Amino acid sequence: MGHELRIRIKTLVMILAMVVCANAGDLMLKRGMTQIGAVEISAPGLRHAFASTVTNGTIWIGIVFLVGFMVSYMTVLSWADYSYVMPAGAFGYALLTLLAVVFLHENVSPRRWVGVVLICIGVLLVGQTRPRTTEVMAREVAA
Amino acid sequence: MMRVAMLLAVLIVGSTGGEIAITHGMKSTGEPSRLRPRELLAFLSRALRSGWFWVGVPLMALSFYSLLVLLSWEPISFVIPASALSYVVGTLGAKYILREDVSPARWIGVVLVCAGVALVAAG
């Protein structure tokens, strides 16, 4: 397998991991906070909210996903361009809309569909450029 | 209106500035030799010792708090589409600060993504 192709596949896999982790994490946090209920802004209210969030399993699953997002984001940026990863990650918005239609049977406005189409074309355009355009920097840590 | 524009600028500059600092930190950390748990852990422990990573984190935190404050002033259907401008600002930063080679195809893609995210977020 060619070097360039390997970088491309590696980058796309990490971006997919980023998008899945970010969406799953947000979904779990939302679900966890719904279980806890509306937070009351007062000293006892915040104490109660803190205690219920740190003991809520769903919240912790969400946090694990968000840590997974951060790790895959940092890893992919160690070799790929920021101007490649950042727009490509917007694919998540399009994915979220499709999931909402297929699984939640939500109605999607024409304006939102136009947005989804623009995101998909934009991501395809960015996706076919070279993932890395800068030189490999010398490692600052002594080997 | 003035304070909304200023906070929006803090939000966008904070998030893109933070991400650019983290990108720079990760590039100087160097990529993990293989994508296995052991090499990933070694990569992360090197990455967390990068000064640029710790420049990025407070900038991103600043951006997050500006988002919370903005959301308390303006409807979400204004705030999220407006923050989609960070795709364009981030690409400018990538070009002029990180010296990435942003080809015309990539620029067109970024502008389409920015418009698309704004439309999706506006509902």
Mean residue pLDDT across chain A? 88
B18 has a chain A CB within 8 A of its CB: no
pLDDT band at A59 (very low <50, low <70, confident <90, very high): very high
CB-based contact A122 B100, cutoff 8 Å: no
Comparing B121 with B62, which gets the higher pLDDT? Answer: B62
B1: Cβ contacts below 8 Å, ≥ 6 apart: none
Report the pLDDT value the prediction gives residue A1, as an integer from 0 to 100: 63
- The secondary structure element, H or E, covering residue A50 is helix A43-54
Average pLDDT over residues B87-100: 96
CB-based contact A116 B113, cutoff 8 Å: no
Residue-wise pLDDT for B68-85, tens only, equals 899 889 888 888 888 999
Which is nearest to B82 in space by CA: B119, B32, B48, B118?
Answer: B118
Please give the residue of chain A at the shortest CA–CA distance from B121: A112
B83 has a chain A CB within 8 A of its CB: no
| Nearest chain B CA: its distance from A58 CA (Å) | 23
When mean pLDDT is compared over A22-26, A31-35, B35-39, B96-100, the highest value belongs to: B96-100
B39 has a chain A CB within 8 A of its CB: no
Using the predicted structure, report yes or no on whether residue B36 has a pLDDT greater than 80.
yes
**What's the rounded Cα separation, in Å, for the pair A93 and A141?**
37
Residue-wise pLDDT for A87-100, tens only, equals 999 998 888 888 88
Top residue of B22, B27, B54, B97 to mutate, by most chain A CBs within 10 Å, is: B27
B102: Cβ contacts below 8 Å, ≥ 6 apart: A83, B91, B94, B95, B110
A103: Cβ contacts below 8 Å, ≥ 6 apart: none
User: Measured between CB atoms, which of B27, B95, B122 is closest to A137?
Assistant: B27
| Nearest chain A CA: its distance from B1 CA (Å) | 26
CB-based contact A78 B47, cutoff 8 Å: yes
Dmax (CA) for chain A in angstroms is 60
Comparing A142 with B13, which gets the higher pLDDT? Answer: B13
CB-based contact B117 A93, cutoff 8 Å: yes
Q: What residues of chain A have any CB closer than 8 angstroms to a CB in chain B?
A: 10, 71, 74-75, 77-79, 81-84, 86-87, 90, 93-94, 97, 109, 111-112, 114-130, 133-134, 137, 139-141
The two structure tokens encoding residue A31: 């679900």
B57 has a chain A CB within 8 A of its CB: no
